[in-house]
Structures are given as structure tokens and as C-alpha cells.
Chain A
Amino acid sequence: MDAEKLGSLERIDRRWIFLILALVVGIAVIVEPVFPDRAGELVRPIFDHLDALPAGTPVLISLDYSPSSAPELEPMAAALTRHAMIRGLPICFISLWPTGNNMAERLESGVLREEYPAAEVGKDWVVLGYQAGGELLAHAVVDSLGARFRSDVRGVPLNELPALTTVTGLRDFGLVISLSAGVPGLKEWILYVGDAGHVPLAGGCTGVGAPQFFPYYPRQILGLMAALKGAAEYEAALSARYPDSVPATMQATRGMGPQAVAHLVIVLFIVMGNGALLWRRWRSGRTA
């Protein structure tokens, strides 16, 4: 191969990279390749904990994300919601982010009302929603939800919500899960609720945020769903345990196809760039 062609492999115009990636991902989105997955070491403890809770035990899910990170975190929320509905665990949704109420509304319309028409708001799930205060909101409700929440988002007082009849504070939940895209999020739940309030805690986070949560696993968080793969692993565990009660292919499992293909394209470009670099160095070493 001549030096000029080799040099071009080292310096591919980024527009070609954009175009190839767009084409490959576009085709993968249309073809929808499905790669079977299974729950790994980080996801399995969350699934097992939720699966072992006695029916009727409420769980709290904090939707600490916005639409920008929803493709990674919403499938986790949907999978957890499905699991809780199958197991008969009432869910309480709250949020430390102003966009949380809308994210809860999307879950209600996309999963709860569509897949579980018999489930009732107030009894099988409640949305307490967003309140200002960030991490100190979470800290304030460790002992008493009533310290900051008087009612759910519909205006129904807490004492009239059957889902929360056994709940005073966060310690009364079987599990508290923060699906976190930034600050305030999982880290704040660990520092102000899990550690300070001795509340069982698990989390889900975006891919870029995942490395910062590894120091907390497994002593301070039960498990961690990292990025879309974490959600796909949870869906895999759910499908394996309740094959007749969940959709055949869920959101994260579908999303992993294009993502895996994109990963492979990136790996190929990296290999190509380095291959050309090494070849050039070898050639220049020989001619020198």
C-alpha cells in the first residue's frame, strides 16, 4: 500500500465518520437486531431484592433525569415499574429534578395505563413528583414523607393514598432507587439518605456517570444499572423470570442493537487508525 493511501486512513475526514455511523446506526434501527443479554453482577442484586420483597411492600423510584438522558434511564424506570406491578409492589415516584413530573407522566401513559389497565393510581402507584430542595428534600423525608409532601400531584392528601398506608418515612420502603443523570441524583441519595438514614438504596445512571458510583458498590448501594446495558440486563432478568408477563422485546433490549453496532464501528475506526499508524512507523523504520 502506498504512503499516501496509508496516510488517508490515519486522517479520515470526520464527516465520513459521521456519515458511516449514521448509515450503520440507521440500518440497525430499521433492522432491529436483538442481542440476548443477561443480568450481570451489578444488576442481579437489584432484581433479586425486588423479587424477594413481600407483595404490598412499597418501593420508591426517584426520577432524577430529563428527556436528554431518558433514552438510557427511562427503560430502567419502565423495567422496574413492570417488575413492581408483576410483584404487586406499590410504587411511589418522586423527583429531585423539575422535569421529573413529566417523566413520571410518560411512564404512567406509556407503561402503567397501557400495560396494566387494572392498576389504579393511588393504590398501585402514586406520583408525589418534584419539589425544590435537591438533596435536602431527600434528607428531609427520611423520617417523614409528610415533612415535605402534603399530597400527590393530583392533590390527594397522603393519608388518603392506599399505596402509602404503611409508609411514614423512607425507611418504610422496601427499596429506594434513584435513576440519576447528574446532580442532584444517586450520589446525593447515597450521602443524604442511604448512609445518613440507613435506607436500602440502589441506582441507575447514564454511561458517562457510571464510573463515579463504583466506589459505593456493594456496601452503600445494593446494585447499579449502568447505562442502556444495565437496563437491558434488568429486562433480560425480567424476561427470564416472567416470560409471559412482559413484552417479548423491551425498550433497552431493542436499543442495545444499534448501540452495539455503533460500538463496533467505533472499534473498527480505532483499529484502522492505529493499524495505519503502526504500518507507517514500520515502513519509515525500514527505509531509514
Chain B
Amino acid sequence: MIRLRPQHLLSFVAIVLVVASFIAPPGGDEPRGVASLFAFADSQFSSWFGVLAVFAFILGGASLLRTHGRRVRRREGDWKYSIVTLVSFLVVLVVGLGKFGGPPGLTGDPFSPEGWLTRIFSSVLSPLHATLYSLLAFYVASASYRAFRIRGWESSVLLGSAMIVLVGRIPSIDSWTDTWPTVFGFLRMEAWSLWLLKVPNTAGQRAIMIGVALGIVTMAVRMISGLEKGQGGRK
């Protein structure tokens, strides 16, 4: 008798999903015959993934409580920050689950404007996110000043590209350059900026994407065939 192992489940699901992708009718037409069976399985597996993802949240929450709880108990380094993490986590969890201030019940919207969760979001999370992100502008300015220097030909190319993109993204620049005589058309920074993004950038990005995709295909084949032993907790 064949004993069902996680590897068999992984291989079966992966093969079904790969086949479903390859035999799907082009142009988004309604699949027929065997293709409809695979399309149905594809849709069901995608939905089941959502259920699994919900359980992952529970695991994540439990892991957070365990890790930070242990750090506080043992007074490990930066344990005071762990208290902040635990208190924030529990407060938001209780407020969200209890739907305080908003419509109650299972179908009540936890994100209603009058709910406490929305208030926490707009009064705490939003300003904190905005503050941290806005600091980037200062670091970018300082880093640009230091990094973009004519040290060699590579750094000069980097500097030139950065300057073209920076200047090309300034609004109204195309309105100004529209008034230039045609003979100076080659100096239009916004056209150079777009060219840099559309041609050299696309070429580089595609090269990276194809390389990464080939790596993913290789890894997927190894996982499906059982050659890859790292997943599923196996050593």
C-alpha cells in the first residue's frame, strides 16, 4: 500500500497547477472537457490557499507572542521594546476582534469610520508610517551627494543617468522644452529619462527576470520530483 506523504501532495498539486496553466484556452475563453477540470482544480486550490493563509496569521501571532514573551521573561537585549510590541499587538488584536466603536456582530465592518480600529490606524499607524518614510528623503539627498561622483567611467555613467532621470522627472520640463528650437531637441531631458527607463532599464530588468525565472523553474522541478529536501521541515 502506498503511504501518502507530504511530498506526494506537493507533487500532485504542483503538476495540476502547471498543467492547468498550459492547457488553458488562449484569449481567456471558457475551458472545455479536460481543460475545464483542471481550471476548476486551479480555482479551488487558489481558494484553499486563502484558508491556509488565514491559519498562517494565527501561527504568526503565536510566534510573535512566544518570541517576545521569552525575551521579556529572560530580560534579553532590548526587552523593553518587546513589551511595546506585545502591548501594541494585543491592544490592536482585542480592539479589532471586539469591533469596539463600530457595528458589532460577525458581519459588522471592523473598518467602519467610527470604529476604534480606524482611529488607531489614522492616529497612530498612519503618522508613524509617514514619519519613517519621509526620513528617506533626507538620506537619499545625503547619499546622492556622496555617491554620485566622477571617480571612474562606471560612476560617471551612474551619475549621468541619475542626473537625467532626476531632471527629467521635474514637472513642466516638457512644457519648457516644447518652446526650444527643433535643433536642440536632442537635449530634452524628459525624452532621455524615458529612454533610459524604457531601453537600458528594460533590457537589464528582463535579463534579471529571465535568470530568476529559470532559477525558479529549476527549483520547482526539483521540489516536484522530490530532489529538493529542504522544504517541509526535512533536512
Contacts and interface: CB of A to CB of B under 8 A. Distances in A.
Are A and B co-members of a single complex? yes
Interface of A: 12, 14, 17-18, 21-22, 25, 35-38, 40-42, 66-71, 99, 101-102, 104-106, 108-109, 129, 131-134, 136-137, 139-140, 143-144, 147-148, 151, 153-155, 171, 196-199, 210-212, 214-215, 217, 227, 229, 232, 253, 256, 260, 262-267, 269-270, 273-274, 277-278
A256 B171 contact: yes
A148 to B, nearest CB: 6
B53 A274 contact: no
B172 A36 contact: yes
B28 A25 contact: no
Contact of A18 (B54, B142, B171, B194): B142
Contact of B205 (A69, A139, A211): A211
B181 to A, nearest CB: 21
Contact of A148 (B47, B125, B174): B47
Contact of A215 (B47, B107, B202): B202
B7 interface: no
Nearest to B111: A101
A149 to B, nearest CB: 11
A29 B140 CA distance: 19
B109 A153 contact: yes
Nearest to A10: B149
Contacts of B163: 267, 270
B16 interface: no
Interface stretch (B67-75, B76-84, B126-134, B227-235): B126-134
Interface residues of B, number: 63
Contact of A105 (B113, B125, B194): B113
B137 to A, nearest CB: 6
B145 A269 contact: yes
Contact of B194 (A41, A133, A137): A41
Given A36-B171, A214-B197, A133 B53 contact: yes
Given A105-B113, A211-B201, A266 B145 contact: yes
A211 B207 CA distance: 13
Given A211-B197, A212-B205, A171 B28 contact: yes
B125 A67 contact: yes
